[in-house]
C-alpha cells in the first residue's frame, strides 16, 4: 500500500518523469535510480577500448564528478544501433547519499564484453559529451 501511495504522490507532484528519479521499494523507502551523467562529464582522453587474446573487449575511462562519493558505471545500451560493429555504452551515475566532500573527483568506469572481438568502435553516450573511439586505440586527445 505504501508503494502505491508513493507512486501516486510522485505522479501527482511531477508527472511520469518523477518516477524515473526514485525507485520505491515495498518498505516505502526510496533509492535514487541510475541516471545519465550530466553532473559527471566524461574525460574522453582517458577512455580506451581494446580486445585481449581471450577475445574480450575491455572499455575503461573516467568521469569527472563534482563531489566525492559518486558511483559510476558503463552499461550496454538497449537497443543497440543498426551497425553491429559499433558497441553503444551508456554512462550511468549515482549521486552520493548523504554528505560528500567538496572536491572534484575522477571516477573510474570499466565495461567488459565477452566475445567482443567483432566490435570496431565503441560509442559512449550520456556522459556529455557523447563520443566514439576505435577499438584498439585510446580516444583522441583534445588539441591544445
Per residue in 66-124, pLDDT (tens digit) is 999 999 999 999 999 999 999 999 999 999 998 999 999 999 999 999 999 999 999 99
> What is the predicted pLDDT for the residue at 6?
45
Backbone angles phi, psi at 102, to 5 degrees: -80, 65
> Counting Cβ atoms within 10 Å, is residue 135 exposed (0-12), middle (13-18) or buried (19+)?
buried
Question: pTM of the predicted model, to two decimals?
Answer: 0.69
Rounded-to-integer distance, Cα 45 and Cα 80, Å: 24
Rounded-to-integer distance, Cα 22 and Cα 75, Å: 19
More confident: 22 or 64:
64
> What is the predicted pLDDT for the residue at 128?
83
Rounded-to-integer distance, Cα 57 and Cα 51, Å: 4
Rounded-to-integer distance, Cα 21 and Cα 67, Å: 20
> What is the predicted pLDDT for the residue at 127?
84
Amino acid at each position: 500500500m505504501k508503494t502505491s501511495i508513493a507512486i501516486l504522490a510522485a505522479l501527482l507532484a511531477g508527472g511520469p518523469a518523477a518516477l524515473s528519479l526514485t525507485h520505491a521499494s515495498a518498505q516505502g523507502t526510496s533509492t535514487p535510480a541510475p541516471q545519465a551523467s550530466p553532473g559527471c562529464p566524461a574525460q574522453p582522453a582517458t577512455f580506451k577500448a581494446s580486445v585481449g587474446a581471450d577475445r574480450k573487449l575491455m572499455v575503461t575511462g573516467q568521469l569527472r564528478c563534482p563531489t566525492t562519493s559518486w558511483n559510476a558505471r558503463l552499461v550496454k545500451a538497449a537497443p543497440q544501433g543498426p551497425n553491429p560493429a559499433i558497441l553503444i555504452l551508456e554512462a550511468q551515475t549515482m549521486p552520493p547519499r548523504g554528505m560528500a566532500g567538496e572536491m572534484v573527483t575522477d571516477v573510474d568506469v570499466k565495461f567488459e564484453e565477452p566475445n567482443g572481438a567483432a566490435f570496431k568502435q565503441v560509442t559512449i553516450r550520456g556522459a556529455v559529451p557523447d563520443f566514439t573511439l576505435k577499438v584498439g586505440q585510446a580516444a583522441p586527445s583534445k588539441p591544445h
